[in-house]
Amino acid sequence: MNPRGFYFLILVSPLVLGFFSIFLGRYPVSSSDIFTLFMSFFTGQEINATHFSVIFYVRLPRVLLGALVGGSLAVSGAAFQGLFRNPLVSSGMLGVSSGAGFGAALALILFRDFFYVYPFSFGFGLAAVFLCFFIGRITASTQAITLVLGGVIVGSIFSALISFLKYVADPYDELPAIVFWLMGSLSRAEYSQILTAGIPMVLGATGLFIIRWRLNVLAMGDKQAHSLGINVNLNRIFIIVCATLATAGAVCVSGVIGWVGLVVPHMGRMMIGNNNKDLIPATFCIGATFLVLVDDISRVISSSEMPLGILTSLIGGPFFIYLLKKTKGKEW
Amino acid sequence: MVKQKPSARALLTLENGTFSFGDALIFKGVNLTVSKGETLCLLGPNGCGKTTLIDCILGIHKLNHGRILLNDHPVSKLSAKKIAQMIAYVPQKHNRHFSFSVMEVLLMGRAPYTSFYSSPDDADIQRAESILDALGMSHLRDRDYTRLSGGETQLVMIMRALIQETPVIVMDEPTAHLDFKHELIVLEAIVRLVRERHLTLVMATHFPNHAFYFENAGIPVKVAFMDQQAVHLKGTPFQALTEENLESFYAVKTKVISHALEGKRSLKHIIPIQTLDKQK
């Protein structure tokens, strides 16, 4: 297949998969029922209220949220990998995931209510990155290496705090809620969340989309980027803010879904190449498709809904090995 | 009105430049002038501050005292973008993290002319193609630049600097780690470009013979020798790179030989004989 055609296919894949995902689920709604539902918009025909709510209030928001979360995590990971010139960096690099996880666990213990989980995890996710930045500032400039080191330190501090909260949590009630939240899920998807958490995700991903070509230049190193006319510190802060907003928005509604922010960008690199001009949009779409697909499988294989954090690795791992074999990892 | 000769116009001036990292003084009281169309060879041992001096010229570090004028504008007051429209930089051998194609790397040279929300356009691709063509490197266009040889990488970096369309190019040891032939290929390319495009070049190098190579090739060249936090001697290679000076600065006993070619030209070259103990 020619490269442009393949690229186009990647870009439309979330739409195609998202459409088919509406047909999948435990509650039996046949394809003809769904077509009748769609047709009713034009014909004004009487509709089945249960079918309507299953499709438009359960499945559709879940598909939309899955696509947004998957895309946001993947695109932030790709941006961080370019910015820090390190292929092992993920969207949670600067501690945003651990911070958000801690915020969620804290909210579950303090209020025992999911309503408070979103602002707490979002807030602590941002706080963690802010802390990293502060650590990076201790040395003269915001050098990439001190930021990465700061991320490792802040991440491990928040991981320790999460363990502490698990230790003190009520083992029959709070502990399972924390553990399940940390494993990630889209099962609480609602339109209100898509609207509130969608704002930072869309803002962040759009910012990264806008600045994507400059990621190429920044990937050449600070000195070369500067000599090519780029204000390195300002651009770095912009990219970190965008990636953090996108990741924190994703994590606060879906929990910690590992793997997407690390490996999906590499899937993109193997399929499209390293040029961020094409890689950033492609990575968003691959991430969106991947997470919707994983969530479909989670919904179909068992009624108890396997947490996504488990499935992303179980499904992504073999696929990644297949890609590695096929492309011989030539993009590294 | 007397028309000023272009070669007399100072494009890059360093006035009483002093720089230190915290307490560590790197250089002080450095004065340098590079005129349009002139090549400055910056010589000096490892760790003498050549690279730091280059970083100051590029605007990455700010001088503690003194100033750098680029076309009469103080570099410290210019944005990275403005500087990059006047000075291009050819780095030393560097870490290559992502496998971009040669074309993608060349297009980065257009970054100073590209706003933050856009990317290079078809005109920029044509610029890159014409420079690839001019240097006979079109076959590299779609190659993975992380898999190029050292010499090819350096030529790609030089081409990227040309696409930046700046009056001045700064090179930091462009021939480091290159084999015998590729060193010459890179030097030949530099001479050709300086001559054809009237470029102003600042080049840090470990090899005094590079200065003679440029002089032999007939391009206007000047030498500055940096050591112990200062620039010590300046002048044409013929004036500066004498056997006495080489002995006192490098502590190496040398012979400068001259090989007559047809016409008035002669090739000069330094033959090292033996190192001397500097403590003596």
Cβ-nearest to B117 among A210, A232, A331: A210
Which residues of chain A make contact with B99, given a CB cutoff of 8 A? 273-274, 330-332
Chain A nearest CA to B21, separation (Å): 10
Determine, for residues A223 and B55 on separate chains, whether the beta-carbon distance falls below 8 Å. yes
Residue A15 predicted with pLDDT over 60: yes
Contact B230, B18 (CB under 8 A): no
Rounded distance between C-alpha atoms, residue A79 and residue A88, angstroms:
12
Q: Kindly report the nearest CA distance between residue B211 and chain A, in angstroms.
A: 25
CA distance A296 to A292: 6
Q: Read off the pLDDT band of A209 (50, 70, 90).
A: very high
By CB neighbour count within 10 A (0-12 exposed, 13-18 middle, 19+ buried), where does A258 fall?
Answer: buried
Nearest to B201 by CA among B83, B40, B1: B40
Residues B4 and B74 in one domain: yes
Q: Are residues B27 and B142 in the same domain?
A: no
pLDDT at A330: 61
pLDDT tens column, A283-326: 999 999 999 999 999 888 877 778 888 888 888 888 888 878 87
pLDDT over threshold 80, residue A1 = no
For residue B80, give the nearest of A213, A221, A229 by CB distance.
A229
Shortest Cα–Cα distance, B155 to chain A (Å): 16
Cβ–Cβ contact B109 with A under 8 A = yes
Asked whether residue B4 falls in the same domain as residue B81, the answer is yes
Nearest chain B residue to A218 by CA: give it. Answer: B108
Other Cβ atoms within 10 Å of A190 Cβ, number: 14
pLDDT for A50: 84
One domain, residues B71 and B173: yes
Query: How far is residue B256's CA from residue B273's CA, in Å, rounded to a whole number?
Result: 10
Q: How many domains does chain B have?
A: 2
Kindly compute the dihedral angle of the four CA atoms of residues A224, A228, A231, A233, in this order, to the nearest 10 degrees.
Answer: -20
- The verdict on a CB contact (< 8 Å) between A231 and B81 is yes
pLDDT (0 to 100) of residue B1: 40
What is chain A's alpha carbon radius of gyration, rounded to the nearest angstrom? 20
Who among B55, B100, B117 is closest to A211 (CB)?
A: B117
- Same domain, yes or no, for B151 and B198? no
Q: Where are the alpha helices (DSSP H) in chain A?
A: 3-21, 31-43, 49-53, 60-83, 96-111, 117-138, 144-168, 174-183, 191-210, 212-218, 222-227, 232-254, 260-272, 276-301, 308-327
pLDDT at B7: 44
- Residue pLDDT, tens place only, A253-289: 999 888 899 899 999 998 899 999 999 999 999 999 9
Same-domain status, B78 and B172:
yes
Distance of CA B256 to the CA centre of its chain: 24
| ipTM (interface predicted TM) | 0.89
Residue intervals of chain A classified under CATH 1.10.3470.10 are 90-256
Give tens-digit pLDDT for A118-141. Answer: 899 999 999 999 998 888 777 655
Per-residue pLDDT of chain B (280 residues; tens, 9 = 90+): 444 444 457 899 999 999 998 888 999 889 999 999 899 999 988 888 889 999 999 999 999 999 999 988 999 999 999 999 999 999 987 777 888 999 999 999 999 999 988 999 999 999 999 999 988 899 999 999 999 988 899 999 999 999 999 999 999 999 888 888 889 999 999 999 899 888 999 999 988 999 999 988 889 999 999 888 888 767 888 888 889 888 888 888 999 988 887 766 778 889 889 888 755 4
B112: which chain A residues are within 8 Å (Cβ-Cβ)?
Answer: 228-229
Asked whether the beta carbons of residue A331 and residue B117 sit closer than 8 angstroms, the reply is no
Q: Comparing B75 with A332, which gets the higher pLDDT?
A: B75
> How far is the alpha carbon of B117 from chain A, nearest alpha carbon, in Å?
5
Domain match, B3 and B142 both: no
Residue A176 pLDDT > 70, yes or no? yes
Q: Would B257 be classed as within a structural domain?
A: no
Q: Exposure pattern of B158-197 as b/e (b: 16+ CB <10 Å)?
A: bbbbbbbebbbbbbbbbbeebeeebbebbbebbbebbeee
Domain closes at, from B132, B165, B198: B165
Q: Is residue B216 included in any domain, yes or no?
A: yes
B17 and B137 assigned to the same domain: no
- Helix or strand run (H / E) with residue B233: strand B230-235
Kindly list the strands in the beta sheet with B24-35, ordered across the sheet, starting from the edge strand earlier in the chain.
Answer: B24-35, B10-21, B65-70, B73-74
Q: What is the three-class DSSP state of B170?
A: strand
Question: Does any domain span residue B53?
Answer: yes
Residue B107 Cα, gap to closest chain A Cα (Å): 9
Using an 8 Å Cβ cutoff, are B27 and B19 in contact? yes
The closest CB to that of B80, out of A212, A219, A226, belongs to: A226
**Within a domain: B33:** yes
Give Cα B47 to chain centroid, integer Å.
Answer: 17
A232 chain-B contacts, CB cut-off 8 A: 80
Residues in CB range of B79: below 8 A, 6 or more apart: A231
Q: Residues B204, B123: one domain?
A: no
Report CB contact under 8 Å: A210, B144: no
Task: Say if B163 is an interface residue toward chain A (CB within 8 Å).
Answer: no
Q: One-letter amino acid identity for B178? A: L
Q: Can you give the CATH number for the domain in which B51 is found?
A: 3.40.50.300
Instruction: Give the span between the Cα atoms of B164 and B157, in whole angstroms.
Output: 11
CA distance B29 to chain A (A): 25
Contact list in A for residue B143 (CB cut-off 8 A) is none
| Chain B CB contacts of A85 below 8 Å | 95, 97-98
Residue identified by tokens 């440029």 is: B214
Q: B242, B257, B275: which is the final residue of a domain? A: B242
Q: Are residues B174 and B159 in the same domain?
A: no
Residues B13 and B77 in one domain: yes
Contacts of A211 in chain B (CB under 8 A): 116-117
CB-CB under 8 Å, B116 with A210 = yes
Using the CB atoms, write b or e for A12-50: b if 16+ within 10 Å.
ebbeebbeebbeebeeebeeebbebbeeeeeeeeeeeee
Same domain, B190 and B78: yes
pLDDT of residue B164: 95
Report the amino acid identity of residue A196.
T
Domain that holds residue B2: 1-86+166-242
User: Is the minimum CB–CB distance between B85 and chain A shorter than 8 Å?
Assistant: yes
Distance from the A264 Cα atom to the nearest Cα atom in chain B, whole angstroms:
16
Topology at the third CATH level for domain A90-256 = ABC transporter involved in vitamin B12 uptake, BtuC (1.10.3470)
Closest CA to B41 of B188, B179, B198, B240: B240
Q: Are B251 and B278 in contact (CB under 8 A)?
A: yes
Question: Any idea what the Cα angle at residue A118 is, between residues A113 and A120, rounded to 5°?
Answer: 90
User: CB distance from B273 to chain A under 8 Å?
Assistant: no
Binary contact (B97, A85; C-beta < 8 A): yes
Q: Is B29 inside a domain boundary? A: yes
Cα(A20)–Cα(A52) distance, rounded to whole angstroms? Answer: 16
B186/B199 Cα distance (integer angstroms): 15
Quote the pLDDT of residue B6: 43
d(CA B140, CA B249): 41
Inspect the interface and report whether the beta carbons of A331 and B99 lie closer than 8 Å.
Answer: yes
% of chain A with per-residue pLDDT over 70: 97
